[in-house]
Amino acid sequence: MNSFYWYDYETFGISPKVDRIAQFAGIRTDENLDILDEQMFYCKPTHDVLPSPEACAITGISPQLCDQKGIIEHEFIKKINNEFSAPGTCTVGYNSISFDDEFTRHTLYRNFIDPYAWHWKNGNTRWDILDVVRLCYALKKDNSLSWAYNENNKPVFKLDRLSVANGIEHSDAHDALADVRATIGIAKIIKETQPKLFDFAFSLRDKKTVESKINMFEPMLHISGVYPAERSCAKLVSALAYHPKYRDRAIVFALDQDPSILLELETEELRTLIFTSQSKLPKDVTKLQIKDLTFNRSPMFVPNIYKLNENTSSQLQIDMPKCISNLEFIRKNQNEISEVIKDIYTIEDAKAPTEDVDQSIYDGFIDNSDRKICDQIQKLDTKKLSNFHPQFTDQKLSKLLLNFKARNYSESLSEKEHDEWFEIVQGRIQEGKYGYLSLDEFYKKLEKVRNKNPEKKALWKQLESYAESFL
């Protein structure tokens, strides 16, 4: 039986690389979105990183609460992986692909579990409701959800705001289980009001389906958070080339831009306009809207759009004649433009290996012999771990094993390993190495949130006490 597994994390920060998960909630539903089972549990702090006071202020979750009620990180992520890996499961959340899924991957990796298998083995997939909501706003604004707006009358797609607008109970925003229930509530409304759109959007979770719908040099409506909310997060784009290095993505160009710039500027100039944030460009220079469309990230788009009704064009601020004219220019020069795009994306700075092994997930895939050792680790108790000294092909995994043992099974460490781990933690906590939050920065951040939220005295006291435990 196929099922959805809806999930959400509350975390001690926003970076999957250096921050840790505090709370998990998951609800499994059938294909009709009827609940089959649900669960919620906490993760014990790993005592090698400090929590972000800003994150704690939002969630109200302290490291002490997680220490009291939680389970060790290894067991925590194993339980989650078992749910995600059940055959026929589509994992889904709200902004999950960009946020929660990355926390999942990094945590699996730190714990020697395959960080990718859960969303492709056994017929499994992943999906994200956030861009489906944006698609509804772009195409079915008046006949789907009720919408929330900010003081400037721009649409707001935050889950807590949309829940209120649609009469969905969400009194505990930023509680993982409440967020999951709210996400299911939003999905149900879309499914009931716009079943065809729902089914179409759901089909795009499959990367082969996505790839089959990508037609080079054809106009398509693309929905993405990188496009302005006042334009419904939508633009008419065209795929110019497949990525020269990653075959699972296409490079798309927003058609409201003059494409002649692609033939007028040098490759390095174009790279600057594409990969530099607007805030870092000169005031009179506009960032070039070219982006990856990655097939396995459930991208939302409608292919082969040659016309839109007047109301939709107006809402999306799409000048259709202008866009089609720009597309014609691209087609006339498609060979030259394709080569330009390939040159832009082929030139890459040599990437040095990540110094902190806990963050090295994207340095390369683990080979088969090392993966077998990783699988062995999952079956070892503390006593066996103490005497387990595998010969990894990739030497960084030996360092990762030390960190893994220290976080989860500290009693398995030798005296020498204890000393090594102490130095690692000191580098993170005292010096803020590799992007971790140092004690000095922690106290500065704590003071700021304390001044903004003086009423949360108990929480601030807990955070102070937790920080003192590192001294």
CATH classification at residue 413: 1.20.1280.70
Last residue of a domain, one of 346, 375, 405: 346
Which three-class secondary structure state does DSSP give residue 252? Answer: strand
Write out the residue range of the structural domain in which residue 409 sits: 357-468
Taking residues 437-456, report their average pLDDT. Answer: 96
pLDDT at residue 248, rounded to an integer: 94
Q: In this structure, what are the phi and psi dihedrals at residue 347, rounded to the nearest 5 degrees?
A: -70, 110
Q: How far apart are CA 177 and CA 174, in angstroms?
A: 9
161 and 233 belong to one structural domain: no
336 and 242 belong to one structural domain: yes
| Residue 66 pLDDT level (bands cut at 50, 70, 90) | very high
Locate 319 and state its tokens: 């000048």
Angle in degrees, CA 22, 23, 29, rounded to 5: 155
Cα–Cα nearest to 221, from 315, 92, 130: 315
Taking residues 319-345, report their average pLDDT. Answer: 96
119 and 233 belong to one structural domain: no
Which three-class secondary structure state does DSSP give residue 76? Answer: helix
338 and 362 belong to one structural domain: no
368 and 412 belong to one structural domain: yes
59 and 189 belong to one structural domain: yes
| Residue 350 pLDDT level (bands cut at 50, 70, 90) | low
370 and 316 belong to one structural domain: no
Give the pLDDT confidence of 170-201 residue by residue, as tens digits.
Answer: 776 668 999 999 999 999 999 999 999 999 99
Whole-number percent of the chain with pLDDT over 70: 98
342 and 362 belong to one structural domain: no
177 and 244 belong to one structural domain: no
pLDDT at residue 149, rounded to an integer: 96
Q: Is the pLDDT of residue 252 over 60?
A: yes
Taking residues 415-444, report their average pLDDT. Answer: 97
Q: Is the pLDDT of residue 87 over 80?
A: yes
183 and 85 belong to one structural domain: yes
Q: Is residue 157 part of a domain?
A: yes
Taking residues 454-470, report their average pLDDT. Answer: 96
Q: Is residue 438 part of a domain?
A: yes
Q: Is the pLDDT of residue 423 over 90?
A: yes
Q: How far apart are CA 75 and CA 63, in angstroms?
A: 17
| Residue 444 pLDDT level (bands cut at 50, 70, 90) | very high
- Strands laid side by side in the 125-128 sheet: 35-42, 21-29, 3-11, 89-93, 125-128
**Which residue type does 23 have?**
Q
Q: Is residue 202 part of a domain?
A: no
pLDDT at residue 1, rounded to an integer: 74
| Residue 250 pLDDT level (bands cut at 50, 70, 90) | very high
pLDDT at residue 348, rounded to an integer: 62
Give the pLDDT confidence of 9-50 residue by residue, as tens digits.
Answer: 999 999 999 999 999 999 999 999 999 999 999 999 999 999
Last residue of a domain, one of 195, 224, 243: 195
Q: Is residue 123 part of a domain?
A: yes
Mean of per-residue pLDDT scores for the chain: 95
Q: Is residue 49 part of a domain?
A: yes
Q: Is residue 352 part of a domain?
A: no
- Residue 52, domain CATH: 3.30.420.10
Contact 233, 223 (CB under 8 A): yes
Locate 414 and state its tokens: 């030798």
7 and 154 belong to one structural domain: yes
The total number of structural domains in the chain stands at: 3
Q: Is the pLDDT of residue 349 over 60?
A: no
Taking residues 66-86, report their average pLDDT. Answer: 98
pLDDT at residue 174, rounded to an integer: 67
Q: Is the pLDDT of residue 280 over 70?
A: yes
Last residue of a domain, one of 299, 326, 346: 346
Q: Is residue 201 part of a domain?
A: no
Q: Is the pLDDT of residue 334 over 60?
A: yes
DSSP one-letter code for 349: P
163 and 294 belong to one structural domain: no
Q: Is residue 351 part of a domain?
A: no
pLDDT at residue 175, rounded to an integer: 85
Q: What is the CA radius of gyration of the chain?
A: 24
Taking residues 287-302, report their average pLDDT. Answer: 96
